[in-house]
Structure 1
Amino acid sequence: MEILSSILRGMSDFIWGIPMLVLLFGTHLFMTGRLRLIQRYTFKAIKMSFTADEGSEGEISQFGALATALAATIGTGNIIGVSTAVALGGPGAVLWCWFTGLFGIATKYSESLLAVKFRTKTDDGRVVGGPMYTIERGLKCRWLAVVFAAFTIFATFGAGCTVQSHAISDVIYTTFGTSVFVSGAVITCLTAVVILGGVKTISKVCEKLVPFMALFYIISCIAILWINREFLVPAVLLIIRSAFTPQAAAGGFAGSTMMTACRYGMARGLFSNESGLGTAPIAAASAQTKNPVRQAMISMTGTFWDTVIVCAMTGIVVVSSMLHVPEAYTGVADDALTRIAFGQLPSVGNYALTASLSIFAFTTILGWSFYGERCMEYLFGKKSVLIYRLAFLAVLFIGAVTSLEIIWNFSDLMNGLMAFPNLISILFLSKIVVEETKYYLWDGRLHHDAASHNF
C-alpha cells in the first residue's frame, strides 16, 4: 500500500505541475476575458435557476440539473478538501482555491453551454450530453472523447465514490465509534436504492437534500466565525499574505511556498467546484432549457455557491480557528483541521460536522454515479450501465475501509487526467461560446428558443 501510494502521489504531483496549473487557471482567465466578465451575471443567473423552462427538451428541470451538479460538487472537497489544502499548502491555499472558483465561473459557464449545444438524443428519446459529445461533435475528435469518458469513469471511483464513503465512515467512527464496515454497508445500501432508480430519482433526491444541507452547513460556519471573531481579520490577512510568500512552519501551520499553496489550492478547488473538470456539463446537458446560454448561466452559479461561498467560509473557519486555539492543531492529521474547528461549537460541534459531511458526501456519491453512467453508456451502450452500477456499489463499500492518502492521490490524478481533454475542447471551441453568448445574452434573446437560431 505504501509503494502504491508513493507511485500515485508521484504521478499526481507530475500531472498537477506547472503545465496543468497554467492550463487550468489560464483557461479560467481566458474565458473570463472573452466573455466580458460573465461573472457579473451571477445574481441574474441565481434568479433564473428557480424558474422552469416549461415545454423545453430535456429529462430533468433546470434546477434539478443544478441540484444534481451541486450535489456532486458540494461535498468532502468543501470540508476535508479545504482541510488538506491548508495542511499541505498552508493558509495561502485558501485564496488560490477561492481564485479557482471565482474565475472558474467562466469556465463552468463555457463547458455547460457547449454540453447543451452539442447534446443529442438516444434511440429511446433520452437527451444526453457532456464533454465526450462536445469533443466528438464539436471538435470532431472521437479518440479524445473516448479518453475523457474513460478517465471520468475511473475518476467516479475515486473522487465520487471512495473519497466520499471513506469520509462518511471515518467521521461516523470518530463521532459515534461505529464500525466502518457497518457504516460502509449502510451507505452502500442507501446509494443502491437511489441510483437504481435512474437520473430522475437522483435529481429528485438531490433537489430535496442540497438546499437543506448547504444552509445547515453555512449556519454552522457562521456560528464558529462568531466564536473566532477576534481572529477573522488576522486570518484573512494571513491567507492573502501566505498565498504569495513562503510560509514558515509555525503556529500549527505547515511550511509552504507559493507553488505548494497554489498547487494544493487549485487541486482542491477543482476537486470542490469541478470548473473545467467536465462533470457538471453532463448534468446540464439533461436539463429542460430553451437555449444553451440559459442553462450555462444556471450551471455557473454552482461554482459560485460551492467555492466562492462555501469553500471560502470553510477556509476562514479553519485558519481563524488555528489562530484562536493553535495548541489544538499540533500533530493532527491533514484531514482533521475542519473537525477541530467545529469542535469549538459547544456540545453540538462534532454532531453538526458529522451530519453535514455525511449528507454532503452522500449526495456527491449520487451525482458522480450519474456522471459515470453517462460515460459508460457513451463508451459501451446502455446495457453496460447496470454493470457499472454494481461495480460502483462494490467500490463504494471498499472505500469506507481504505487508506485516505491512497484515495486522495488517486482522485487528484484522475481529476487532472480528465480535465486535460475537457479544457482543450473549451479553448478550441471558445468562438462558439462567445457567438452563442452574444446572440442570446448580449443581444437580448435570452428567452428565445434554440430552434429559432443555428450557427
Structure 2
Amino acid sequence: MPEFLSFINDILWGSVMIYLLLGAGVWFTWRTGYIQFRYLRQFGKSLKSSITPQSSGLSAFQALCTSLAARVGSGNLAGVALAITVGGPGAVFWMWVSAIIGMATSFAECSLAQLYKERDASGQFRGGPAWYMSRGLGMRWMGVVFSIFLLLAYGLIFNTVQANSISHAMRYAFHLPEAITGAALALLTLVVIVRGLRGVARLMQWLVPVMLLLWVVVSLIVSVWHIGEIPAVISKIVRCAFGWQEAAAGAVGYTVSQALTSGFQRGMFSNEAGMGSTPNAAATAVSSPPHPAAQGIVQMIGVLTDTMIVCTATAMVVLLAGYSTEHPANGIQLVQQAMTHFAGSWGSPFVAGIVLLFAFTSIVANYIYAENNLIYLRLNTPRNVWLLRVVTLLMVMAGTLMSLPVVWQLADIIMALMAITNLTAILLLSPVVKIIAGDYLRQRKLGVKPVFNPARYPEIEQQLAPGSWDDDARQ
C-alpha cells in the first residue's frame, strides 16, 4: 500500500501539481495587477477594518482566524521538519515561493467565494468553491465532485494527520499512550464543534492569535540568541534550493527536484492556497469594505502569516539546531529535539503543547469546512450532521494509531485532487477575478471606499444569490 500511494504521489506531484500551482499563481498575479505586492503595505489597514463586528454574519477577522485555524496545524511543525529532511534546507525557499505566488491564488479563490456566497436557512452566509462552480460556471456536478473530495479530506484524512502529530508529541514529551490522547482529543473536539460555525469562530478569534504569538515569539528568541548563525542558515537555504551546494557532487537535478517538490507539497498543505479550503471560511464573512476583493486581501494575510512567519519560525529552530535524516518520518519529534537542544527539558513539552493547540484548532476548522459542504450537497439533516461528527471523531482517534508516512501520503493525494478541481474552476473564472480586482483597484485609486455594485456587471449579477449583495449585506 505505501508503495502504491508513493507511486500516485510521484505522478501527481512530480510534474502536474508543481506546474499547475506555479502557473495558476503567476497567472493570477498578472490578472490581478500584482495585487499581493501592490497592497502589501495596506495589510495592516485591512486587518484593522476586518475586526468590526457584524450582525448579519462573521466579521472578516473571525473568518480569517477560522481559516488560520485550519491552515496552522501540524504542517507548520511536523510538515516543515519533514520537508527539510526529505528535500533539504532548500525546501524552505520553495515554501516561501509557494506562499508569495499563492497569495494571488488565494485572493482569486476567496474573492470568488465572497462574490457567489448565499444565505443558509438561519441567515448565515455560506459559500466556497462548490458554490462558485455551481453559480459562476453553471456546473453543479463539478461542485458535487469537489464537495465529496473536501468531505473525504477534511472530514477524514486531514484530521488523522493532525491527531497523529499530537499523539507522537504527547508520547515523546509525556509518555502518554496514543489511545488516551486520541480519546481526550475526540472528546474536546466534540465539545467545540457542537457550538456551530458562530461558536467556533468566536473561539478561534481569541485562541488562534494567542497560539501563533506563543510559537513565533519563542522561535524569535531562539533566533535572536543565535543571530550570528542566521546569515549562514539563510545562505544554506538559498544554495540548496538551486543545488549550488551539491553541484560538486553531481546531484543537482535530484536535489533541486526534491527541494522544490517537498517545499511546494508542505507549503501548500500548510497555507492551503489554491486547494479550495480557505474559501469556505472567506464566504462566511460580511466583508468590510463591502466588496468581494476586500475579503480576498484579508485572506492573503493568512497565507503570509502561515508560511512566511510561522513555517519560517519552525524552519529556523530546526536548522539552527542541526537536523538529522536518520528518522525522517518523525517530523514532530525532530522539532521537539531541536527545541530541547535550545531550551533544555522544557523544550519538548512546550512543543507538545503548541502542536496540541495547532492541531486541535485545525481539526475543529476542518470539521466546519466539511459541514459547510454537507450543506451544499443538501444532506445537512440532523442525522447526517451527527454522522459526520461521529466519523470525524473516529478518524481523530484512528489517526493517533496510524503510521505517519501512510497518513502523509494519503493527505498529499487528496490535497492534489482537491487542488486540481479547484484550480480548474478558478482559472475558468479568471475573467471574473480580473473584474473584481479591477473594480476594487479603480475605486481605491479614486480615493473612495470600495463598494461592489452588481448592477455594473449584468452578466455577473444574474449569477448571484438573491440578497447576497443587497443593502442589508453591506452594513
Query: Which residue identity lines up with residue 120 of structure 2 in the other structure?
Result: T
Shift of 1:115: 0.3
Distance 2:2 2:42 in 1: 45
Q: Match of 1:186?
A: 184
Aligned counterpart for 1:331 among listed residues 326, 330, 333 = 326
Q: Is the 8 A contact 2:85 2:325 kept in 1?
A: no
CA change 1:158–1:308 in 2 (3 A) is farther
Q: Partners of 2:403 and 2:60 in 1: how far apart?
A: 37
Which residue does 1:401 correspond to in 2?
401
TM-score (norm 2): 0.88
Cα shift readout 1:336-365 (whole Å, capped 9, x = no counterpart)? 332222112333211221111110111111
Percent identity reads 33
One-letter code aligned to 2:312: A
Amino acid across the alignment from 1:296:
G
Sort the Cα spacing of 1:451 and 1:442 in 2 relative to 1 into closer, same or farther, 3 A. Answer: closer
**Native 8 Å contact 2:28 2:108 kept in 1:** yes
How does 1:259-298 map onto structure 2 within 5 Å? Answer: 259-289=257-287, 290-298=290-298
- Matching of residue 357 in structure 1 with residue 361 in structure 2: no
Q: How many residues align?
A: 444
Looking at structure 2, the residues matched to 381 and 447 of structure 1 have their Cα atoms a distance apart, in angstroms, of 39
Q: Distance in 2 between matches of 1:431 and 1:376?
A: 29
Distance 1:451 1:389, change over 3 A: farther
Aligned to 1:79: 77
Aligned to 2:194: 196
- Equivalent residue for 2:87, pick from 82, 86, 89: 89
Work out whether residues 86 and 328 of structure 2, in 8 Å CA contact, stay in contact via their aligned partners in 1: no
Q: Distance in 2 between matches of 1:446 and 1:436?
A: 16
Letter in 2 for 1:241: R
Give the one of 36, 46, 65 matched to 1:39: 36
3-state SS of paired residue (2:212)? helix
Find the counterpart in structure 1 of residue 150 from structure 2: 152
State the match for 2:418 in structure 1: 418
- Contact 1:221/1:313, CA 8 A, preserved across alignment: yes
1:10 aligned residue (7, 19, 23): 7
Q: Deviation at 1:447?
A: 3.0
Change (3 A) 1:446 1:424: farther
Change (3 A) 1:330 1:12: closer
- The structure-2 alpha-carbon separation of the partners of 1:249 and 1:231, relative to structure 1 and needing over 3 Å to count, comes to farther
Structure 1 position 220, deviation (Å): 1.4
5+ residue gaps, structure 2, are 458-475
Distance 1:85 1:134, change over 3 A: same
Task: State the shift of 1:55 in Å.
Answer: 8.4
Query: Which runs of 5 or more residues in structure 1 are unaligned?
Result: none
For 2:69 and 2:167, how far apart are their aligned partners in 1?
A: 19
Q: Which moved more, 1:299-308 or 1:46-55?
A: 46-55
Q: How does 1:56-67 map to 2 (within 5 A)?
A: 58-67=56-65
What's the Cα RMSD here? Answer: 2.2
Distance 2:6 2:247 in 1: 22
Q: How does 1:127-138 map to 2 (within 5 A)?
A: 127-138=125-136
Q: CA deviation at 1:449?
A: 3.8
Q: Which segment drifts farther, 187-196 or 429-438?
A: 429-438
For residues 156 and 83 of structure 2, the distance between their equivalents in structure 1, rounded to whole angstroms, comes to 18
